[in-house]
Amino acid sequence: MKFKIYVFIVCCQVFTRATVLYVQELPGMKNMSVKSLERLLTRRVFDWFMLRYHQLYNDNGQCYLLAPNGFQLARCWMRYLHTDEFGNVVFDFCRRVRELNLSEKEFSALLVYYACYDDSTMEDREIPQMLRSCYHYALYSELCQNRGETKGKIMLSKITQVLELLIPITEQYHKEVASCILEGTAELLFFF
């Protein structure tokens, strides 16, 4: 069992490093302090993971995600790391994201918008709030361009409702798993 947990932790570390590199390259992120960026990423890495890989959590109740280190995050592994209730909530969230039927550009705009989602624990909140406003407008513009103004506004409202579902999921995740995965690796990730 310890080896299984270790393999999962290595998988999380690989994903976290990839996320850090990706988010650092987003426009405006270099304006944030290292401490604010570290806090944002430490608290958002699971959310980012859920959004980015939502399509691999299928309606049949299985997850077909293969991590860079070769570890497959199948449903049976989720039972070792989480409760069945938590797994069901994760799959339900992923289904809701799929039901939005976002285009690739809309989804890309959603990812960067969520990267700057409000976080009351940050010391320097001005820059993330400004970036969030810019990314919010970019998402809104993309939705209106693709769907028309009325349908774009409706879709933005639906997206906001779905994103709000991530808050309790993330809180539960941090209580159950993150303390043993992210706490020890966060300091190693921010050596830039």
What is the mean pLDDT of each successive set of 10 residues along the chain, which is 192 residues long?
A: 47 64 76 77 76 79 69 70 80 91 92 79 79 93 96 96 90 70 41 26
Q: Which of 28, 51, 61 is nearest to 130 (CA)?
A: 28
Per-residue pLDDT at 1: 43
Structure-token pair, residue 144: 């209106």
Q: Is 98 exposed, middle or buried (0-12, 13-18, 19+ CB in 10 A)?
A: middle
What is the distance of C-alpha 33 from the center of its chain? 21
Per-residue pLDDT at 133: 92
Per-residue pLDDT at 31: 81
Q: Which CATH number does 2-189 carry?
A: 1.10.565.10
Per-residue pLDDT at 7: 47
Per-residue pLDDT at 180: 52
Sequence-ordered alpha helix ranges (H) in the chain: 2-24, 34-52, 75-81, 84-99, 104-115, 126-147, 149-164, 166-173, 179-181, 183-189
pTM: 0.75
Per-residue pLDDT at 159: 96
Per-residue pLDDT at 186: 42
Per-residue pLDDT at 13: 63
In the chain, domain spans: 2-189
